[in-house]
Structure 1
Amino acid sequence: MEEVEVLVVGAGQAGVAMSEHLSDAGVPHLVLERHRIAERWRSERWDSLVANGPAWHDRFPGLEFPDVAPDGFASKEQVAAYFEAYAEKIGAPIRTGVTVTSVTRIEGRPGFRVETSDGPIEARYVVAATGPFQKPVIPPIVPEGVVAHQIHSSAYRNPEQLPEGAVLVVGAGSSGVQIADELRRAGRTVHLSVGPHDRPPRSYRGRDFCWWLGVLQKWDMETPPEGAAHVTIAVSGARGGHTVDFRELAASGVNLVGMTASHQDGTLHFADDLAANIAAGDANYLALLDEADAYVTRNGLDLPEEPSARELGPAPAASSSALDVSAVGTIIWATGFAADYGWLKVGALDENGRPRHRRGVSTEPGVYFLGLPWLSRRGSSFIWGVWHDAKHVAGHITTQRGYLSFGDAR
Structure 2
Amino acid sequence: MNTVDTVVIGAGHAGLAVSHLLGRAGRDHVVVERGAVAQSWRTRWDSLTLLTPRWMSRLPGWRYRGPGQEGFMPAAELVGHLEAYAASSAAPLALGREVLEVAPAGEGYRVTTTDGTWSARHVVVATGPGSRAVLPPAIHALHPGVRRVPALDYRNPESLPSGAVLVVGASASGVQIADELARSGRRVVLAVGRHTRVPRRYRGMDLSWWLDRSGRLARTIDTVADPVAARRETSLQLVGREPGDPRGTSLGLDTLQDVGVELVGRVRGADGHRIDLADDLPVSVAAAQRQLDDLLDAIDADVDASGLTREVDPADRPEPVRLGPARTSLDLGVEGFGSVVLATGLRPHHPWLRVPVTDLDGTIRQCRGRTPAAGLYVVGQRFQHRRDSATLDGARHDARDVVSHLVAGDTAAVAALEMR
Which residue of 2 is the match for residue 244 of structure 1? 251
Q: CA deviation at 1:201?
A: 1.7
How far apart, CA to CA, are the structure 1 residues paired with 2:87 and 2:56?
Answer: 21
For 1:200-239, list aligned pairs within 5 A.
200-223=198-221, 224=224, 226=226, 227-232=229-234, 233-238=236-241
User: Cα 1:64–1:229, aligned 2, differ >3 Å: closer, same or farther?
Assistant: closer
Map of 1:254 onto structure 2 = 261
Residue in structure 2 matched with residue 310 of structure 1 by the alignment? 317
Change (3 A) 1:352 1:136: closer
Maintained 8 Å contact 1:262/1:268: yes
* Post-superposition CA distance 1:352-374 (Å, at most 9, x none): 43211101100010100111001
Distance in 2 (alpha carbons) for counterparts of 1:230 and 1:88: 35
1:279 maps to amino acid: A
Partner of 1:407: none
* Aligned residue identity for 2:233: V
Letter in 2 for 1:138: L
Please report how far the alpha carbon of residue 66 of structure 1 lies from its aligned counterpart in structure 2 after TM superposition.
5.8
**Correspondence for 1:178:** 176
CA deviation map 1:316-338 (0-9, x unaligned): 23541110021211100001111
Conservation of the 8 A alpha-carbon contact between 1:275 and 1:315: no
1:178 positional shift: 0.5
Which residue is equivalent to 2:339?
330
Residue in 2 that maps onto 1:117: 114
Gaps of at least 5 residues in structure 1 are 403-410
1:358 counterpart SS class: coil
Classify the secondary structure of the residue corresponding to 1:56. helix
Other-structure match for 1:96: 95
Out of 366, 376, 384, which is 1:375 matched to? 384
Contact residue 389 and residue 395 of structure 2 kept, 8 A: yes
Say if 1:146 and 1:266, in contact at 8 Å, map to a contact too: no
Q: Deviations over 1:106-126 (max 9, x none)?
A: 1xx311111111122100000
Structure 1 pair 332–67 and aligned structure 2 pair: CA distance change class (3 A): farther
Aligned-residue offset at 1:95: 1.0
1-side partners of 2:143 and 2:360: how far apart? 33
Alpha-carbon deviations, 1:287-307, whole Å to 9, x = none?
111111111110111112122
Matched, 1:340 2:352: no
The question of whether the paired residues in 2 share the 8 Å contact of 1:170 and 1:334 is answered with: yes
- Read off the aligned partner of 2:231 and give its amino acid letter: A
Mapped to 2, the partners of 1:54 and 1:209 lie a distance apart of 10
Structure 2 spans left out of the alignment, 5+ residues: 412-420
Find the aligned partners of 1:299 and 1:162 in 2 and give their Cα distance. Answer: 50
Return the TM-score normalized by structure 1: 0.93
Deviation for aligned residue 1:60: 2.2
Q: For residues 179-233 of structure 1, what are the alpha-carbon distances to aligned partners after superposition, in whole Å with 9 as ceiling and x for unaligned?
A: 0000000000000111111112211111111111122211112125643431222
Contact 1:165 1:330 in 2 (8 A): yes
Preserved CA contact (<8 Å) 1:147 1:325: no
Decide whether the 8 Å contact of 1:192 with 1:254 is kept in 2. yes
Q: Which residue of 121, 124, 138 maps to 1:141? A: 138
**Sequence identity percentage:** 38
RMSD after superposition: 1.9
CA 1:195 to 1:55, structure 2 compared with 1: closer, same or farther past 3 Å?
same
What is aligned with 1:152?
150
